[in-house]
């Protein structure tokens, strides 16, 4: 995968993450599930910033940033607090996988960016009830 | 080895933090993309372990 293709794939992943977190944010009760709502909001804010950073990185690499799809399929029903947290874990795992691919397909500043994002996603998955794994983002290893 | 469990957990957390930094640094310097991906994933794993230990050490 070329560095530009890796950045575009990562940007596409951020578009999906943002969409799903937006839906999750609309379904979580900020009064009854305050902690979960705060974590979802923080995740949304982080992924939005990543999307914006990636847009700049793609342009810097000479590409035309990939656009978001009109909608994305939710990973699971996402109704109860447990289901919302499960959906968030899936999103972070998927993001970690695209970040890991970006680590392997880029270099220097772009790789440093992807490394930071990979660790951040792996740790954020824990905040939604995930467990540590041997190879976050690279379960094939 | 620290005598108290809290001290041991804090030392373990610092060790995981160091491992995460070292793996990130190695990933950044790797010539091979596949190797960089593996090292980056190992760094993320160490970061998870450090985060998991944070509550036990009274840190965030």
A114 neighbors A10 (Cβ within 8 angstroms): yes
CB A115 within 8 A of CB B43: yes
pLDDT on residue B54? 85
**Which pLDDT value is given to residue A62?**
96
B34: chain A residues, CB-CB within 8 Å:
104
Q: Distance between CA atoms of A37 and A100, rounded to whole angstroms?
A: 27
Q: Which pLDDT score, from 0 to 100, does residue A2 have? A: 95
Q: What φ, ψ does residue A140 adopt, rounded to 5°? A: -75, -15
Give the pLDDT of residue B5. Answer: 86
Per-residue pLDDT of A66-125, as tens digits, reads 999 999 999 988 899 999 999 999 999 999 999 999 999 999 999 999 999 999 999 999
Range B4-13 average pLDDT: 90
Let me know if A84 is exposed, middle or buried by CB neighbors in 10 A (0-12, 13-18, 19+). Answer: buried
Task: Give the whole-angstrom CA distance, residue B45 versus residue A15.
Answer: 25
pLDDT interval class at B59 (50, 70, 90): low
- pLDDT recorded at residue A21: 97
Instruction: Collapse the DSSP code of A67 into the 3-class scheme (helix H, G, I; strand E, B; otherwise coil) and give the result.
Output: coil
Q: Do A118 and B38 touch (CB under 8 A)?
A: no
Q: Which two tokens stand for residue A134?
A: 């041997």
- Reading the block at residue A5, the tokens are 């293709």
Q: Do B36 and A104 touch (CB under 8 A)?
A: yes
Instruction: Check the CA dihedral A47-A83-A23-A91 and report its sign.
Output: positive
Task: Give the least confident one: A22-31, A79-88, B1-10.
Answer: B1-10
Share of chain A above pLDDT 90, in %: 95
| Mean pLDDT score of chain A | 96
Residue of A108, A97, A75, A126 lying closest to A14 (CA atoms): A97
Q: Which residues of A touch B21 (CB under 8 A)?
A: none
* Out of A108, A114, A138, closest to residue B38 by CB: A138
pLDDT of residue A127: 96
CB contact under 8 A, A132 and B28: no
Question: What structural domains does chain A harbor?
Answer: 3-127 (1.20.1260.10)
- Could you give the percent of chain B with pLDDT greater than 90? 75
CB contact, 8 Å: A3 with chain B? no
pLDDT, residue A51, reads: 98
Tell me the C-alpha distance between A126 and A6, whole Å.
25
Q: Do B40 and A114 lie within an 8 Å CB cutoff?
A: yes
Question: Would the pLDDT of A137 be above 80?
Answer: yes
- Report whether pLDDT(B19) > 70: yes
Rounded to 5 degrees, what angle do the CA atoms A45, A48, A51 make? Answer: 155
Q: Is the CB of residue A28 less than 8 Å from the CB of residue A44? A: no
């Amino acid at each position: 995968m070329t560095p530009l293709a890796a950045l575009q794939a990562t940007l596409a992943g951020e578009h999906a993450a943002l969409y799903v977190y937006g839906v999750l944010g609309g379904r979580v009760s900020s009064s009854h599930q305050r902690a979960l709502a705060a974590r979802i909001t923080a995740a949304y804010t982080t992924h939005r910033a990543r999307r914006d950073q990636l847009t700049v990185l793609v342009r810097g690499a000479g590409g035309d940033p990939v656009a978001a799809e009109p909608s994305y399929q939710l990973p699971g029903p996402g109704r109860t607090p447990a289901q919302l947290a499960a959906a968030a874990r899936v999103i972070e795992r998927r993001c970690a996988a695209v970040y890991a691919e970006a680590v392997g397909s880029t270099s220097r500043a772009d790789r440093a960016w992807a490394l930071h994002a990979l660790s951040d996603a792996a740790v954020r998955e824990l905040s939604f009830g995930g467990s540590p794994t041997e190879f976050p983002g690279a379960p094939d290893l | 080895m620290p005598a108290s469990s809290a001290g041991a957990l804090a030392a373990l957390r610092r060790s995981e933090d160091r491992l995460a930094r070292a793996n990130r640094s190695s990933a950044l310097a790797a010539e091979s993309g596949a190797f960089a991906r593996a090292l980056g994933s190992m760094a993320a794993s160490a970061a998870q372990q450090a985060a998991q230990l944070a509550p036990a050490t009274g840190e965030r």
